[in-house]
Chains A and B, each alone.
Chain A
Amino acid sequence: MTIIKAALALGLGLCLFGGAAQAQATLTGVKQKGYLACGSNPALAGFGVPDAQGRWTGLDVDFCRALAAAIFNDPTKVRFIPLSAKDRFTALQSGEVDILSRNSTWSMSRDTTLGLDFPAVNFYDGQGFMVKKKLGVTSAKQLDGASICTQQGTTTELNLADYFRANKLKYEVVAFASADETFKAYDSGRCDAFTTDASGLYSERLRATAPDDNVVLPEIISKEPLAPAVRQGDAQWADIVRWTHYAMLNAEEAGITQANVDQMKSSDNPDVKRILGTEGKYGEAIGLTSDWAYRIVKLVGNYGEVFERNVGQGSPLKIQRGLNALWSKGGLQYGPPIR
């Protein structure tokens, strides 16, 4: 009860004195606190889920760990603050979290009107389709006349309409209020196809009564670049976030993994040297140490490792790299050079 009284007094006092003193650099604030406050997803398979002991696992939470590794040389110095879709941006704007790493789609309106920046896309998602194998459908173009299960009032419904109109296909929407209901309906044979974001298709497929009887079609009909977000107006912090992602990409491209990063330190390859900080002081330019990228790879891993571990072949989800492959392998993940 003492906490409550103290909090009340504090709350009242602060309401009176109000005022904003937020312009201070995020990095300084994070270092002062001694931990990174990371807005995360409360529950999204592969991106942010607690394991049996309550430790967070996933692509998005590992991004925050990478950031903490770069700043503190300790990936555990993160406090995850799980945020609902409703309060995620407010929490970032109010300074409650330092970064929002919570599968948020980077769109123009969010970028320009919310006072946010999306420094780098860490997962290219997009709406896809899943059908029963026995239908023999191999492309979304063959879905003419199909009934499609989707969630009510989401952009997936609009994307679906656009796609079928553009391709002059007929379809029937069967919409449900919740994601659970939607998938249940598809699984019980209520409709021919199920649509949601591709990452969601893979995680839903796992809970089907017979997962192997369902296939995800190759077409992606919408753009959902999922990106971490930071507050606008702190260029240094945005740089740190952006280059943390790029460092992970560059490490993968150069073949630096969590396992071989120590041997790689003595490599003669100038690219590797610059990434790992044995040559040049690139990390210091963004307010970190020159071995920042070494720390990230050593403590968390390169992008490919983090991807495979959380959503790829090392996880039950088994999502293909697809758009998230390195640019050199036909994907969109392109890390500008560290030099």
Chain B
Amino acid sequence: MTASSGLLAQPFVRRDPVPAAPPPALVGGPVAWIRRNLFSSLTSTALTLAAVLLLALILPPLLRFLVFDAVWTGENRDACRPEVLGRPVGACWAFVANKINYFVYGSYPIEARWRADVFFALLAFGLAWMLWLDAPRRDLGAAYFFVVFPLASYALLAGVPALGLPAVPTSLWGGMLVTIVVSLVGIVVSLPFGVLLALGRRSRLPVVRLVCVIFIEFWRGVPLITVLFMANVMLPLFLPGDVTVDRLVRPLVGIALFSSAYMAEIVRGGLQAMPRGQFEGAMSLGLGPWLTMRLVILPQALRIVIPGIVNSYIALFKDTTLVSIVGIFDFIRTIESARVDPNWAAPTVSVTGYAFAALFYFLFCFGMSRYSRFVERRLSASHAR
């Protein structure tokens, strides 16, 4: 009794909360996640199993080809020939390593390639400044990216003999350099042009509206490949023999105008989505039409169409490969040319070249897509669900 009375004298008072028991395994944790997301119903289970089966079918041979059986180093075709190595040969990355300079610069003169490198560095700097939303002085960044950078790049890449940079004819440009230049021109030109065209199309002045409508509908009405053929095959026939417009500038102009027309329609979509109240509110504040556009309408309209804009940029980036058909040595074209090199003739060389191209385009397009998701989330806090 004494013992029990002693216990009673000192009643048990719990000072710490009982540690929470983990939720039952069927509610939280990875098992539950899997159950909830992958096997929640019969259909879902079937789909999951099908997906796993598909991966099991595709992944091992893909990995075997791209990684395990691949050849990483070598000087010529012998490195990638199965009868020389005595084993099945997957991707011939040695070929890509050997030709990488050609893939990046094309035929750009070796002694001048540092200029292309500086161009890439300037571009990376400008992009970082523009894309990092919290960067200081983004107004300066915009001035740099849209004015200083294009001029500097032109001087660097094409050359200014007066400044000691010998001219490099564009027929020597090639590879990723050309792909990036072409898409950059398209991207940089199309947004401002597109906004102007979209505003013009909604203008109350009939002449402005008509001009914009005709421009947009004309460029939307012809396929890009036709534009390129016109520029590179037909244009020289119209010009007198002693005058030639540069072979690279022709498709550049074509692509810039073409993408501007598409951009105009995307931006117009954003403008249409603006409720009338926004205009009226701006007017009631005493803003003129230009200020209304700049401060109230465009920031909202452009935010709405970010997915559309990025979509069109991604499409443009991939469409630049079409210039290869008219003899411009973009990245894809350099791969096409390099893969026929008899010094690298081996069964898997072509496939390796294309795999490398796919990787390159995927990285760029996926990057653009992820960045646009980030910006959307950042800017649409008010719409967040």
Interface residues of A (CB under 8 A from B): 1-4, 7-8, 10-11, 14-15, 17-22, 24, 29, 42-46, 49-56, 79-84, 86-87, 90-91, 93-96, 180, 187, 203, 206-212, 315-317
User: Contacting B337 at CB < 8 Å: which of A49, A81, A91, A187?
Assistant: A49
Q: How large is the interface on B (under 10, 10 to 19, 20 to 34, 35 or more residues)?
A: 35 or more
B102 located at the interface, meaning its Cβ lies under 8 Å from any Cβ of chain A in the complex: yes
Contact A52 B345 (CB under 8 A): no
* 15 residue pairs bridging A and B, Cβ less than 8 Å apart: A4-B252, A4-B256, A7-B245, A11-B253, A20-B240, A45-B341, A56-B107, A80-B107, A84-B326, A87-B229, A91-B236, A94-B239, A96-B236, A96-B244, A203-B345
Which B residues, 214 to 257, have Cβ-Cβ distances below 8 Å to chain A? 229, 232-247, 249-250, 252-253, 256
Smallest CB–CB gap between B168 and chain A, Å?
11
- New contact pairs (7) apart from A51-B343, A83-B327, CB-CB < 8 Å: A24-B242, A54-B101, A79-B172, A96-B247, A203-B345, A206-B346, A207-B345
B169 within 8 A of partner (CB): yes
Asked if B238 and A18 sit within 8 Å, CB to CB, the answer is yes
Q: Does B110 lie at the interface of the complex (its beta carbon under 8 Å from any beta carbon of A)?
A: yes
Give B318 Cβ to nearest chain A Cβ, in Å.
Answer: 20
Q: Are B246 and A7 in contact (CB under 8 A)?
A: yes
* B183 in contact (CB, < 8 A): no
A20 to B240, CA, bound (A): 5
Whether B232 pairs with A14 at a CB distance below 8 angstroms is: no
Which chain B residues have a beta carbon within 8 Å of chain A's beta carbons? Answer: 77, 81-83, 98-99, 101-102, 105-108, 110, 150-151, 154, 158, 169, 171-172, 174-175, 185, 188-189, 229, 232-247, 249-250, 252-253, 256, 325-327, 329, 333-334, 336-343, 345-347, 349-350
> How close is A52's CB to chain B, nearest CB, in angstroms?
5
Contact for A315 among B108, B110, B239, B342, CB less than 8 A: B342
Whether A44 and B340, one on each chain, are in contact in the complex, defined by CB atoms closer than 8 angstroms, is yes
Set A1, A15, A44, A82: member contacting B189, Cβ < 8 A: A1
Known contacts A7-B249, A29-B242, A90-B233; A49 and B82 CB within 8 A of each other: no
Of A1, A10, A43, the contact of B188 (CB 8 Å cutoff): A1
CA distance A207 to B344 in the complex (A): 9
The CA of A176 and the CA of B34, in the complex, are separated in Å by: 47
- Do residues A316 and B110 form an inter-chain contact, with CB atoms below 8 A? no
Known: A15-B238, A54-B174. A3 touches B249 (CB 8 A): yes
- Asked whether, in the complex, the Cβ of B77 is within 8 Å of the Cβ of A316, the reply is yes
- Contact assessment for B236 and A95 in the assembled complex, using a CB-CB cutoff below 8 Å: yes
Contact between chains at B107 and A95 (CB < 8 Å): no
Contact between B99 and A52 (Cβ–Cβ < 8 Å)? yes
A94 to B324, CA, bound (A): 20
CA A210 – CA B237 in complex, angstroms?
47
Q: How far is the CA of A95 from the CA of B232 in the complex (A)?
A: 13
A248 to B250, CA, bound (A): 37
Closest chain-B Cβ to A11's Cβ sits at a distance in Å of 6
* Given A45-B340, A80-B171, A87-B233, A316 and B345 contact (CB-CB distance below 8 Å): yes
Partner of A90, one of B98, B236, B334: B236
Taking each of B232, B327, B333, which has the highest tally of chain A beta carbons within 10 Å of its own beta carbon?
Answer: B327
- In the assembled complex, the Cα of A108 lies from the Cα of B364 at a distance in Å of 49
In the complex, the 9 A-B pairs of residues with the closest C-beta atoms, listed nearest first = A206-B345, A22-B241, A54-B107, A94-B236, A95-B241, A43-B337, A316-B342, A45-B342, A87-B233
Give Cα distance in the complex from A156 to B162, angstroms.
53
Query: Chain B residues near A45 (CB, 8 Å)?
Result: 340-342, 345
With beta carbons under 8 angstroms apart, the residue of B107, B240, B337, B347 that contacts A21 is: B240
